[in-house]
Amino acid sequence: MTDPAPLPGPITGEELASLLAGSPPLVEGLSEPRVQVTPNGVDLTAAEVAWFSDDLPGRLDFDNSGRRLPESEVIPWREGRLVLPPGAYLVRYTEKVNLPRDVLALGRPRSSLLRCGAHLGSAVWDAGYSGRGQGLLAVFNPAGLELAERARVLQLLFFRLKGETAGYRGGYQGEGD
């Protein structure tokens, strides 16, 4: 019996370093690469946090023809900090991500965020996507969450696909630029 092929894992080490040094770099705007580049990925930081500011629900459908994103309003930092009561917020990341057409990324909340009673949801970052993405911050801790500007909140893990795709063509391409 032969050993099964190893499962694909995240891009790490020299390959990650090469992509980060590429043109365009895999992730632009790292303020502290020695801290933000981890053994398994790259930590993204909070540039801005917004709250949902209207009373109308969001709406999703099959082809996005009826999609409605709720209005949101950025909360100004006060002396580089925010104290967020329990609730749902949008976080815009500081760093710009530039995924080649054969690399996708998955975002996971940093464990310290979870230990503070909060969670950061992230969708799949499709191959070919470029922009400063957003995530959904859910604060569950009844006492809230104090968040510093540029706090590391999300770890992106990068995975090489077997081949190039047509690349992301959705409406969020170039967001936050």
Q: Encoding tokens for residue 165?
A: 């795709």
Question: What's the pLDDT score for residue 23?
Answer: 96
Q: Encoding tokens for residue 71?
A: 């209005």
**Exposure of 127 in the CB half-sphere (CA atoms within 13 A):** 14
Question: What's the pLDDT score for residue 177?
Answer: 82
- Whether the pLDDT of residue 3 is over 90: the answer is no
Which residue, 119, 151, 116, is CA-closest to 138? 119
- Mean pLDDT of the residues in the chain: 95
- Whether the pLDDT of residue 80 is over 70: the answer is yes
Residue ranges of domains in the chain, CATH in brackets: 13-53+68-160 (2.70.40.10)
- Are 158 and 41 a contacting pair, CB within 8 Å? yes
Instruction: pLDDT band for 86, please (50, 70, 90 cuts).
Output: very high
Which residue, 2, 12, 1, 3, is CA-closest to 160? 12
- Are 119 and 138 a contacting pair, CB within 8 Å? yes
Q: 33 — phi, psi (to 5°)?
A: -55, -35
Instruction: pLDDT band for 9, please (50, 70, 90 cuts).
Output: confident
Question: What's the pLDDT score for residue 7?
Answer: 63
Helix (H) or strand (E) holding 13: helix 13-20
Which residue, 156, 145, 150, is CA-closest to 88? 145
- Whether the pLDDT of residue 1 is over 70: the answer is no
Give dist(CA 28, CA 12) in Å, integer: 17
Q: What is the mean pLDDT of residues 55-64?
A: 94
Give dist(CA 89, CA 133) in Å, integer: 14
Question: What's the pLDDT score for residue 130?
Answer: 98
Question: What's the pLDDT score for residue 73?
Answer: 98
Instruction: pLDDT band for 50, please (50, 70, 90 cuts).
Output: very high
Give dist(CA 94, CA 45) in Å, integer: 6
Q: What is the mean pLDDT of residues 41-45?
A: 98
- Whether the pLDDT of residue 35 is over 90: the answer is yes
How confident is the model over 120-165, as pLDDT tens digits? 999 999 999 999 999 999 999 999 999 999 999 999 999 999 999 9
Give dist(CA 134, CA 157) in Å, integer: 16
Question: What's the pLDDT score for residue 173?
Answer: 95
